[in-house]
Amino acid sequence: MDVVAISTPQDAGWRWRIVNYAGEVIEESHSLFSSIRSAVAEGAQRLHEMNVADVSRPAPHRSPYLRGR
């Protein structure tokens, strides 16, 4: 699993998200953080506390340059 930071136009700050290797959101913070660094640090702490193994399968990578035929 990984921790990512997100920011949206309606929020004046950053949130952390814990995502699995399939790209699914496992958990997201309710709090806003003033920097990416602080959001990721808090998310990493939460991931450590969760102590779970990611058993998902990575989503297949698709190039944006390839078209279905």
For the chain, the structural domain boundaries read 2-50
Contact, 16 vs 40, CB < 8 A? yes
E strands present in the chain: 2-6, 15-19, 25-28
The SS3 call for residue 3 is: strand
- Percent of the chain having pLDDT more than 90? 59
As a whole number of angstroms, the distance between CA 33 and CA 2 comes to: 18
pTM: 0.77
Between CA 35 and CA 32 the distance in angstroms is: 9
pLDDT greater than 90 at residue 69: no
